[in-house]
Amino acid sequence: MNSKNTNTKEKILKTALKLFAKNGYEAVSMEQIAKVVNIKAPSIYKHYKGKRDIFNSIIKRMEENDSENADKFDMPEEPLKANAKAYKNVSVENLISYGKLMFKYWTEEEFSSDFRKMLTLEQYKNSEMHNLFQNYLSLGPLNYVTDIFKSMTDTYEEAENLALRFYGPMFLMYSVYDVSEDKAGVFAELENYFENFKNSIDLKIKEA
């Protein structure tokens, strides 16, 4: 595939996701995507078989991004049962650095931000979108953080409580960020919260 075709395919992917985030997946047609990309409707099928093919490519891109982000901070990618040692190697400082990265990833990076908005919009419309929302933004990250804290604490209840304290405000602040005119201020608030959280966590671990 030549560079022109590659650029067009990438433009289609990003344009489609932006339309899905604004109008909802079901409401957007291939013809609408082609119009915004400024190509003839039949030409879009040279790059993608259909809207589902575009959607699958979006999911694939998100999976690749997840792996890259985890690698940056040596965060475990496998389930806890599959690699408990990797979870034990995660420090509170590392988790907080990763949390900051992920917040910026979900808010400042256009592709992932549009993906988040699409899932938020579509989560109540069909089970697939609901499951994706849970996996990427709700129960998925909450359970992941709980597993990390399991390696730092004595009980599941304590790990779950710490995970809620860590991830709950972060999840809430996605919506705050979206409507705020002071984006930097929202991130500064999150940084301050994480610093206070870290101080309280250090005491808990020392006492455990």
For 30-79, the pLDDT digits (tens) are: 999 999 999 999 999 999 999 999 999 999 999 999 999 999 888 999 98
For residue 125, give the 3-state DSSP assignment. Answer: coil
Q: How far is CA 7 from CA 13, 25, 43, 120, 193, in A?
A: 10, 23, 14, 28, 41
For 18-30, the pLDDT digits (tens) are: 999 999 999 999 9
Task: Write out the two tokens for 160.
Answer: 């779950």
Lowest mean pLDDT among 14-18, 151-155, 175-179, 195-199: 151-155
Residue-averaged pLDDT of the chain:
93
- H and E: helices and strands count for the chain: 10, 0
What proportion of the chain, given as a percentage, has pLDDT over 90? 86
> What residue ranges do the domains of the chain occupy?
1-58, 73-207
Stated pTM of the model:
0.92
63-75: b or e for each residue (b if 16 or more CB lie within 10 Å)? Answer: eeebeebbeeeeb
CA angle 149, 164, 205 (to 5 degrees): 35
The rounded distance, in Å, linking the Cα atoms of 207 and 204 is 5
The rounded distance, in Å, linking the Cα atoms of 86 and 76 is 6
Neighbours of 79 (CB within 10 A): 12
CATH topology (fold) of 1-58: Arc Repressor Mutant, subunit A (1.10.10)
φ, ψ for residue 13 (rounded to 5)?
-60, -50
